[in-house]
Amino acid sequence: MRVAAVGDLHCPRTSTEDLRILFHDLSDEADVLLLCGDLTDYGKPDEARLLMEQLAHVRPLPILAVLGNHEYECGKQEEVARIFADGGVTVLDGTVVEMLGIGFAGVKGFCGGFGERALQPWGEAALKQFARESVEETVKLESALAKLRTPSKVVLMHYAPILETVRGEPAEIFPFLGSSRLEEPVNRYAATALFHGHAHNGTLEGKTFGGTPVYNVALPLLRKEFSGRRAVRFVDLPSVSAAVGSS
């Protein structure tokens, strides 16, 4: 199976013409498209509908997506997710889907920092709530991965689970780009690959402590690194014939 992955489309900041070029004949090059959050700019339903018009050119390619922080800006994230789903996009939020013997699990994720410097749930109630959000997203991912019985497991999220793929961003904002808590279930269930966005100026690749390859597929980063090429990350994964199912 050939996976195509990209995030941070920020439609309509990325114009319809640019999106049309990005997705043109993509079904000839990949078996599934992964969209790693921040697909709209302000989380407005009209932005979601505009993006769906462009994704219509990708058909019949299956599309899996997670939401990003920008989808939450207007408080319309549920409506935006529904527009995506009505357009044939499978939105993952602690849920899974299986294709050709590969299981896909997705969550938005959250921030909080990495390693010994990660924010802990201690002190003021606001800080405890902030840290708890990261824990809850991690639990959702853990639950999703536990459902999969496939030999290969692929994770998509918006926030970064490791420090390595956010390097290149200002160090002051590292804690707001992801959380190493998200790495824990990825290692525990030996995921085959992980894709995320959010860090526009980060690093293309890294690995978890367990050896899972991590790909930063934020569109601004791919444009910079893949100059003159389609700004989409392609990764080939071993697959076996299997019925498609979801939960």
User: Which DSSP string do the residues of 21-59 spell out, in sequence order?
Assistant: HHHTTGGGT-SEEEEES--BSS--HHHHHHHHHHHGGGT
Number of structural domains in the chain: 1
Which residue is associated with the tokens 């980060």? Answer: 202
CA distances from 14 to 23, 40, 85, 154 (A): 12, 9, 21, 27
Q: Give the list of residues 6+ apart from residue 192 with CB closer than 8 angstroms, or none.
A: 102, 152, 153, 154, 212, 237
User: Which DSSP string do the residues of 210-235 spell out, in sequence order?
Assistant: T--EEEE-BHHHHHHHTTTS-S-EEE
Which CATH number goes with the domain that contains 166?
A: 3.60.21.10
Q: Are 116 and 66 in contact (CB under 8 A)?
A: no
pLDDT tens per residue, range 7-40: 999 999 999 999 999 999 999 999 999 999 999 9
Q: Is 70 helix (H, G, I), strand (E, B) or coil?
A: helix
Q: How far apart are CA 166 and CA 151, in angstroms?
A: 29
User: Rounded mean pLDDT of 192-198?
Assistant: 98
pLDDT tens per residue, range 51-101: 999 998 898 999 999 999 999 999 999 999 999 999 999 999 999 999 989
Residue 246 has pLDDT above 70, yes or no: no
Q: Are 179 and 111 in contact (CB under 8 A)?
A: yes
Q: What are phi and psi of 94, to 5 degrees?
A: 75, 20
Banded model confidence at residue 218, pLDDT cuts 50, 70, 90:
very high
Which residue is associated with the tokens 């030996």? Answer: 190
Q: How far apart are CA 81 and CA 95, in angstroms?
A: 14
Which residue is associated with the tokens 């890294």? Answer: 206
Residue 217: per-residue pLDDT: 98
Q: Which amino acid is at 37?
A: G
Q: Looking at the whole model, is its pTM more than 0.85? A: yes
CA distances from 236 to 15, 193, 225 (A): 29, 10, 19
| Element containing residue 236 per DSSP (H, E) | strand 233-236
Query: Which residues constitute the domain of residue 20?
Result: 2-246
Residue 247 has pLDDT above 50, yes or no: no
Percent share of the chain, pLDDT over 90: 90
